A and B are shown apart, each in its own frame.
Chain A
């Protein structure tokens, strides 16, 4: 074994560049896998524990309640704890418009996690989410009036001293409302106060329950934990992380397999004679396999281990980046032995299997044949007519590509993969911009949405006279097939969003994404409140997905839904006067700018991820192109040398090489173009939810940049090749021919 080991080590030494390329590929792939899965697993574990320990409410009722309704509710079967509380938004107008959501603390439900300080003890104190304190620059100022505080917040006539910084499972994400699901921490803050901050009565009851709970009198809306946007976002992000963790490493795995196959095929062809000698001396196939595969398995193990360790650093980095989207205290890197083992074993298996595929072609040969020089594949079939009008270069390039299809296509695949990944990553960015533009430029046609308790249609809301144009709507949360959706019942001439309003009388207008997940089409029946509603049309929607229908249609369907409205969509008019009015009267509203801000903050938090993705694509693409290019070059070495011996000038050899490369690019670019879209479409679904549907788009610029990147690396490879051809030694070429 000693000599075979020595031989293995020396063989590895002689192909260090290729093996390094392989290590790099494996490390990047494994790092990606480990990082994303560690985060996903840790997020789930930490978040579930956080939700449990801090008693995130199982059900929340919204409406008007008294102590009596809370008491009655607590007596229901299955209810462990019920607590009334008040939630009110305070808007600070002026230049720096901010919303403070003030929530009264309860005993034992939605308990804040305290980073520092203490909970409020009287109506003049409060705690604020730490992320808000960070974003709004509330710096600790110690021992003021005997209380060590962090500054104070002015809400109308009240001034609250901040006594601590907290987090809460009900605000893992900064969900301001249905459309503003990721509010900026500098514009929307959550503050917890003692119950005596609010006068008697409650507008929410939070419940911890083991079974379904009947809504108490005065309930306007019921939301279970799993239907809370905060919770939905958390589950969605978990799924996204997992699918990202799978898809990227999978693409890596395919490319790694191809690279190993190409390297090994090449090595084995080069070593064919040596394998023949070893066989002639009586070395059995098993040992030969062991010798070649062990090189790749060692490389795989080294690459995978490096990837794992890189993952340790990447994980904390990514968690920091993600904390601009969501906050789960105590979420950090944790060693997942199962994950590490899986990554290492899969890497080794991948290398072993792709190596085996390359080996089985040469091992069955009897030594007498293995010792002979290689008969060029298809030698007889592919001789090109000498009389052909093509010049030597074109013929040579064409012949090479025909003669060594697997190597030719490995290069094409490398180029295709790099292009597709790049176009996909840039395209992801484009798609988010496209989604935003489709919503704000093409769909939304309102400036403000005002929400209030239902009013009869005949009654004008006091705000309506301050708006240029307004339209009434009843926005309801309905349940369809066990899930929560938004239904907007609107007037017939409703034009605040771009929907075909002539269809409002004929049935319900359903967002495309819902039609897809329900698998329904125009004319199909949808059950709403037990009534059969007809789908009149399907429209593309991307944000705050809503089902629209007309008052007339609903009236015809049922007389149970009264002609009331709880929402005013408004356009133009004097916005600043309007907002002042709404703020002073404590009326809940959201402007289209709020929505834009929220969207921008989603964009901002995603941008980091997208750049991370682009970086990975670039590393991956370049590694593959470089590795494949190197292998291609070493495979050609003897050919080029021999051509040199025969008297072909450097220039024409290089030209032949360039022509072949161009041919590969001709194949790869269109394939990569299609591949980018395929990847984008595949991952689009993972990012879609009832709040957000991505409009897939890759801008021409992104295509151009991706193509340019691939062409540049290819060009670098051609330059390396050119220099290499220049340095080739003719004497060595002759010797090599002798040996062959």
Chain B
């Protein structure tokens, strides 16, 4: 069964002269349980697509099916429920709540999903941050913040992990650590992962590579032998 089935998806921003077509009539299927990478140049519509899949925004037209359910028909309330039940987000700019410690940031998410503090602590140990869980985001490095953000996304064991350039702001070594954490989660929790990057090398660790261009799907490549993060270099 397919995780996402996307039909004729279009997203436009603005009106009149200022109108931007970010996604133009996209058709795409993403199978369950895969590690998929979305590649594309800046402005090609990657983030826009991820937002639609994560029920963070509504398309202008078209349909997205999550398994059998049309998520584009959701009310705002259902969109919120869908996000808290099924989706884990990892943002490019970490987006941690500055008033909460690392652990509390993760707990924030588990609490919403009705899970316990133990789950939050587990998630932090998966990303290797058990030692620093009582620090505030301002006291953590960028890579550490990003790993907290991953812990927050995986703690509730979501069906899908959506990651928008999680390594964009990180140096090579830290980037590798973050990618390894994601792979580990993918294997352990059997979550499907969708990862945005504009880095061709990172695409080598994926099962599927979707390339976007000017708001359309340029090509889809299956990767029979994905590398492990430690094997890629950029």
Task: Decide yes or no whether A360 CB sits under 8 A from chain B.
Answer: no
CA distance A276 to B51 in the complex (A): 12
CA distance A60 to B58 in the complex (A): 83
In the complex, what residues of B have CB within 8 A of residue A367's CB? Answer: 56-57, 83
Known contacts A3-B100, A14-B99; is-contact A282 B80 (Cβ 8 Å): yes
Shortest B177–chain A CB gap in Å is 23
B66 in contact (CB, < 8 A): no
Contacts of B95 in A (CB 8 A): 273, 276-277, 280, 371
Interface residues of A in 268-300 (CB under 8 A from B): 273-274, 276-285
Stretch at the interface among A4-12, A27-35, A330-338, A511-519: A4-12
Q: CB-CB contacts of A670-698 with B at 8 A, as 1s and 0s?
A: 00000000000000000000000000000
Partner of B80, one of A279, A364, A369: A279
Of A11, A281, A369, A371, which is within 8 A of B99 by CB? Answer: A11
Q: Are A283's CB and B84's CB within 8 A?
A: yes
Which single residue of chain B is at the shortest CB-CB distance from A6?
A: B104
Q: Are B111 and A7 touching (Cβ within 8 A)?
A: no
Chain B residues with CB under 8 A of A276: 95
Say whether A274 contacts B97, CB under 8 Å.
yes
Known pairs A7-B108, A366-B56, A366-B57; A280 contacts B83 (CB<8 A): yes
- Give the shortest distance, in Å, between B192 (CB) and chain A (any CB): 18
Give the total number of A-B pairs whose CB atoms are below 8 A apart: 79
Closest-by-CB residue of A relative to B58 is A366
Instruction: Give Cα distance in the complex from A438 to B97, angstroms.
Output: 67
Q: Mask for B80-102, Cβ within 8 A of A = 1, else 0?
A: 11111101010101011111100
Answer yes or no: A720 CB below 8 A from chain B CBs. Answer: no
- Within the complex, the shortest CB–CB distance from B78 to chain A, in Å, comes to 11
Task: Say how far B46's CB is from chain A's closest CB, in angstroms.
Answer: 13
Could you say which of B57, B58, B100, B112 contacts A282, with CB atoms under 8 Å apart?
B112
Is B183's CB within 8 Å of the partner chain A? no
How far, in whole Å, are A16 and B111 apart by their CA atoms in the complex? 27
Q: Residue B165 at the A interface, CB < 8 A?
A: no
Q: Would you list which residues of chain B between 37 and 94 have a CB under 8 Å from chain A? A: 51, 54, 56-58, 76-77, 79-85, 87, 89, 91, 93
B119 interface residue (CB < 8 Å to A): no
Q: How far is the CA of A366 from the CA of B55 in the complex (A)?
A: 9
Q: Are A284 and B107 in contact (CB under 8 A)?
A: no
In the complex, which residues of chain B have a beta carbon less than 8 angstroms from the beta carbon of A273?
A: 95
Q: Is B109 an interface residue (CB 8 A)?
A: yes
Q: What's the least CB distance linking A146 to chain B, in Å?
A: 81
If A3-B107, A367-B56 touch, does A284 touch B100 (CB 8 Å cutoff)?
A: no
Minimum CB–CB distance from A6 to chain B (whole Å) comes to 6
A residues within 8 A CB of B147?
Answer: none
B83 and A282 within 8 A (CB) = yes
Contact B111 A1 (CB under 8 A): yes
B113–A282 touching, CB < 8 Å:
yes
CB of B14 to closest CB in A, whole Å: 11
Q: Judging by beta carbons under 8 Å apart, are B152 and A6 in contact?
A: no
Q: A282-B80, A282-B84 are in contact. Are A4 and B57 (CB under 8 A)?
A: no
Chain A residues in 8 Å Cβ range of B98: 274
Question: When chains A and B are docked, how far (Å) is the Cα of A189 from the Cα of B123?
Answer: 87
**How far apart are the CA atoms of A248 and B58 in the complex, in Å?**
49
A4 & B113 in contact (Cβ 8 Å cutoff): no
Which chain A residues in 55-96 approach chain B with CB under 8 Å?
Answer: none
CA distance A364 to B111 in the complex (A): 23
Which B residues touch A285, using CB under 8 A? 76, 80
Which residue on B lies nearest to A13, using beta carbons? B99
With a CB–CB cut-off of 8 A, which chain A residues contact B97? 7, 274, 277-278
Chain A residue with Cβ nearest B85: A282
For the complex, is A716 an interface residue (Cβ under 8 Å from B)?
A: no
**Once the chains bind, are B58 and A280 in contact (CB under 8 Å)?**
no
Q: How far is the CA of A369 from the CA of B51 in the complex (A)?
A: 10
Q: Are A281 and B112 in contact (CB under 8 A)?
A: yes
For residue A250, CB closer than 8 A to chain B, the reply is no
Query: Across the interface, do B104 and A3 meet the contact criterion of CB distance under 8 Å?
Result: yes
The residue that A280 contacts in the complex, of B56, B81, B93, with Cβ under 8 A, is B56
Q: Which residues on the A side are within 8 Å of B108 (C-beta)?
A: 3-4, 7, 278, 281
Known contacts: A277-B97, A279-B80, A282-B80. The answer to whether A369 contacts B57 by CB under 8 A is yes
- A6, B100: Cβ atoms closer than 8 Å: yes
Tell me which of A11, A14, A277, A285 has the highest count of chain B C-beta atoms within 10 A of its own C-beta.
A277
CB–CB B51/A368 < 8 A: yes
- How many chain A residues have a CB neighbour from B under 8 Å? 28
Q: Is the CB of B77 within 8 A of A284?
A: yes
Interface membership of A143, Cβ < 8 A: no
What CA separation (Å) do A614 and B84 show in the bound complex? 55
B99 adjacent to A7 (CB under 8 Å):
yes
Chain A residues near B51: list those with CB within 8 A: 368
Report the minimum CB–CB distance from A194 to chain B (whole Å). 80
> Is the pair B56, A281 in contact by a Cβ cutoff of 8 Å?
no
With a cutoff of 8 Å between Cβ atoms, the chain B residues found around residue A282 in the complex are: 80-85, 87, 109, 112-113
| A139 touches B (CB below 8 Å) | no
Complex formed: what's the CA distance from A280 to B164 in Å?
13
Interface centre among A6, A7, A279, A367 (most CB of B within 10 A): A367
Cβ–Cβ contact B111 & A3, under 8 A: yes
Does A386 belong to the interface (CB within 8 Å)?
Answer: no
A2 within 8 A of B: yes
Chain A's closest residue to B96 (CB) is A277
Which residue, B54, B84, B98, B99, has most C-beta atoms of chain A within 10 A? B99
Evaluate contact between B57 and A281: CB separation under 8 angstroms: no
Question: Is A283's CB under 8 angstroms from B112's CB?
Answer: yes
Contacts of A10 in B (CB 8 A): 99-100
User: Chain B's nearest CB lies how many Å from the CB of A400?
Assistant: 25
B99–A284 touching, CB < 8 Å: no
- CA–CA, A20 to B108, complex, Å? 28
Contact with A along B168-186 (1 / 0, CB 8 A): 0000000000000000000
Q: Do A284 and B111 touch (CB < 8 A)?
A: no
Contact B100 A281 (CB under 8 A): no
Report chain A residues within 8 Å CB of B100: 3, 6-7, 10
Residues of A contacting B96 with CB < 8 Å?
277
A6 to B97 Cα, complex, angstroms: 12
List of B residues within 8 angstroms of A7 by Cβ: 97, 99-100, 104, 108
> Closest A-chain residue to B52, C-beta based?
A368
Q: Which residues of B contact A366 (CB under 8 A)?
A: 56-58, 76, 79
Chain B contacts for A278, CB-based, 8 A: 97, 108
**What's the Cα separation between A371 and B98 when bound, in Å?**
15
How far is A278 from B152 in the complex, measured between Cα atoms in Å? Answer: 12
Give Cα A274–Cα B95 distance, bound, in whole angstroms: 8
Pair B89/A280 contact, Cβ less than 8 Å: yes
Q: Which residues of A contact B84 (CB under 8 A)?
A: 281-283
> Quick one: which of B77, B84, B85 has the most chain A CB within 10 A?
B84
Chain A nearest CB: distance from B187 CB in Å? 24
Select from chain A the residue with minimum beta-carbon distance to B100: A7
Q: Does B109 lie within 8 Å of A368, measured CB to CB?
A: no
- Alpha-carbon gap, A739 to B169, bound state (A): 13
Complex Cα distance, B54 from A371, in Å, reads: 14
| A368 near B57: Cβ-Cβ < 8 Å | yes
Docked-complex contact A2 and B111, CB < 8 angstroms = yes
Residues in chain B near residue A14, CB distance under 8 A: 99
Could you show 16 A-B contacts with beta carbons less than 8 Å apart? A2-B107, A3-B100, A6-B100, A7-B97, A278-B97, A280-B83, A281-B83, A281-B108, A282-B112, A284-B77, A284-B80, A364-B76, A366-B58, A367-B83, A368-B56, A369-B57
11 extra interface residue pairs, beta carbon distance < 8 Å, beyond A3-B108, A368-B51: A1-B111, A6-B104, A7-B99, A7-B100, A10-B100, A14-B99, A276-B95, A281-B152, A282-B84, A284-B77, A368-B57
What are the nearest 4 A-B pairs in CB distance? Answer: A282-B84, A368-B57, A368-B56, A282-B83
Q: Which residues of B contact A (CB under 8 A)?
A: 51, 54, 56-58, 76-77, 79-85, 87, 89, 91, 93, 95-100, 104, 107-109, 111-113, 152
